[in-house]
Amino acid sequence: MTPVLWRLLRPYRGRMAAAMGLQALAGLCSLLPWMLLAWLAEPLAQGQVQAPLLALLLLAVLTWLVSQALAAHQAHRVDADLCNDLRLRLLSHLQRLPLDWFGRQGQDAVARLLEQDVRALHQLIAHAPNDLSNLLVVPLAAMLWLAWLQPWLLLFCLLPLLLAGAGFLLLRSARYRDSVQRRNAALETLAADYGEFAHNLLLARQYPGAGVQRGVEASAAAFGEAFGAWVARVGHLAALVYVQLSTPWLLAWVLLGALLLDSLGVSLALGQVCAFLLLLRAMAAPVQVLGHGGDALLSSRAAAERLQQVFAQAPLAEGRATTPPADGAVRVSGLGHAYEGEEVLSDIDLQLPDGSLVALVGASGSGKSTLLHLLARYMDAGRGEIRIGGVALDEIPSAVRHRHIVLVGQQAAALEISLADNIALLRPDAAFDEIRQAARDACLDQRIMALPHGYDSVPGRDLELSGGELQRLALARALLSPAPLLLLDEPTSALDPQTARRVLRNLRQRGGGRTRVVVAHRLAEVSDADLILVMADGRIVERGEHKALLATDGAYARLWREQSRMEVAV
């Protein structure tokens, strides 16, 4: 049990102890019928029926079944409650982690954490404690009873159980660990490649013999090879272990032991032999759980360790400033940031007046989106300082920051609520006229009013929004918000040039006096910005207004000429 899980289990420890106690009672009661049957074997063979013992036998069976059902119910309730608590804590923690952490994990890592890894704890929480209770109580009680009946036969009958237990330990020893690790690694790679395949179905269909599909085929072949090697390595030993625990073998072993003792002059009553025949299998069942549940238990422990590593990731420190930012002015001094050791931003200094419209332009990979994410404090910079409205960004409390700064990213999304509520997400108390005006400014009102249910339409149920419509919906949401600082990362990349120009014109004319920082690739759309910042290789290489930048005949002028030639060619 990892420290994180042990702390999470604090509210549930009493319930888990109760489940283990019920399972121990169930284990003891599961033995009692076999003990009584062994006791009744000779009287029953002679046609004698002892009513009190039969009544006790029925009571033991009833208690066994009820206790086992209650133990399983209790353990699964703890499992369900813990997993729900764990998911909520994960979500809260993930919301405070830096954005670059998610980039390092890959696109499916968070989904695996919240679903596969949390679900993998099922064996560790719902079954392992009860199995442990059963494993300790049932064999011990059965051994004591059988030792009282015939200790020599017990010693003989323990041999297959001890050999099976040793086999399970050997299968999970360092000798075979590399085969298991290669099998698990190949399976994880296969799952990741299948996820990549699912995310790129169009590409896979266009080029079926290359790229994504070839990667899946290669990882499937690698998994087949690793799995085959694992089976070849452990198959013979595993088969022998399970033969040792099989019912026919155990019954034959008991009879063999009885015959050996009889040949040595040790006589056994029919009841004693029946007791061994019935109870040895009960002793073997918990041992067999070690084999069936071993892999699941190891997977659960690995999942718990991954979850612990996530919780160990330091979140963004909560700001403690008591004075909110005065406005949307931005000041950046000596800003630098590295990603996995590679410098992506260097020596960024800028000052943006409140209410200004600022354009960030430059080639792909020049650092524009990274700068925007730092301004929104999706992550903290490696060095330098950012001040918003006169307050250090890292000192602004999260609740204040979310109201003060809104970032519209490249990947927009809609919730399954009405379009009106989607637009009003950042300002739920907005009047309907204000919602419509924000949609007009985002060039979306006409499209919505043409729908049968208008603003009451629900995305995913009443309509499917295109990429451009999702972008305009996100822009309308930002325009309606009260935030004095809007950060817009290519907000018109999925729009046609005419609509994009109308949206950006509205953004300038109806910006409401707030600061707007727009990342754009098409220079013509932001040529009227108050300030244009040109980025290259993580630095601001030019800054100024459109005409002044053209006059300097530098990087901006070259980009302008290239795009102009391309537009003429089209």
* Bridge partners, residue 531, by sequence: 358
Other CB atoms within 10 Å distance of the CB of residue 496: 9
Whether the CB-CB separation of 335 and 385 falls below 8 Å is answered with yes
- Cα–Cα distance between 123 and 100 in angstroms, integer? 32
Determine the residue type at 241: V
Rounded CA gap, 310 and 118, in Å?
Answer: 12
Please provide the DSSP assignment of 1-61 as one string. Answer: --HHHHHHTGGGHHHHHHHHHHHHHHHHHHHHHHHHHHHHHHHHHTT---HHHHHHHHHHH
Around 93, how many Cα atoms within 13 Å sit in the side-chain half-sphere?
A: 18
The strand ranges marked E within 410-469 are none
pLDDT for the residue 130: 75
Per DSSP, the three-state class of 485 is strand
Cα–Cα nearest to 285, from 130, 74, 494: 130
Return the structure tokens found at 172: 């999970």
With CA atoms as reference, report the closest residue to 71 among 13, 15, 32: 15
CA pair distance 281, 29, nearest whole angstrom: 15
Residue 390 in tokens: 């006169």
Q: Sheet with 531-536: list strands edge to edge.
A: 405-408, 485-489, 515-519, 357-362, 531-536, 539-544
pLDDT of amino acid 350? 93
Find, among 127, 123, 114, 129, the residue nearest to 307 by Cα.
114
Q: Do 432 and 513 meet the contact criterion of CB atoms below 8 Å apart? A: no
How far apart (Å, rounded) are the C-alpha atoms in residues 541 and 348? 10
Q: d(Cα 202, Cα 262) in Å, to the nearest integer?
A: 75
pTM: predicted TM-score of the whole model, two decimal places:
0.70
Residue 178 to residue 180: CA distance in whole angstroms: 5
Q: What is the pLDDT of residue 2?
A: 58
Amino acid type, 25: L
Query: What strand order describes the sheet that includes 330-339?
Result: 342-352, 330-339, 383-388, 391-392
Q: At what angle do helices 128-149 and 13-45 cross, to 10 degrees?
A: 30
**pLDDT tens digit at each of 570 positions of the chain:** 556 667 767 788 888 888 888 888 888 888 777 777 666 666 655 666 667 767 777 888 888 889 888 988 888 888 888 888 888 888 888 888 887 777 666 656 666 676 677 777 776 777 777 777 777 788 888 888 888 878 888 888 888 888 887 887 777 777 777 887 788 788 878 877 777 776 666 666 666 666 667 777 788 888 888 888 878 877 777 778 778 878 788 888 888 888 888 788 887 777 777 778 777 777 787 777 666 556 666 677 777 777 787 888 888 889 999 999 999 999 999 999 988 778 889 999 999 999 999 999 998 888 998 999 999 998 888 899 999 999 999 999 988 998 999 999 878 888 899 999 999 999 999 999 999 999 999 999 999 999 999 999 999 888 888 888 999 999 999 999 999 999 999 888 878 888 888 888 888 887 668 999 999 888 888 888 999 999 999 999 999 999 999 999 999 999 998 888 876 555
Expressed in percent and rounded to 5, the helix, strand and coil fractions of the chain are 65, 10, 25
* Sequence-ordered list of residues with C-beta below 8 angstroms from that of 198, at least 6 positions apart, any chain: none
Reading the block at residue 225, the tokens are 């090879």
DSSP one-letter code for 389: T
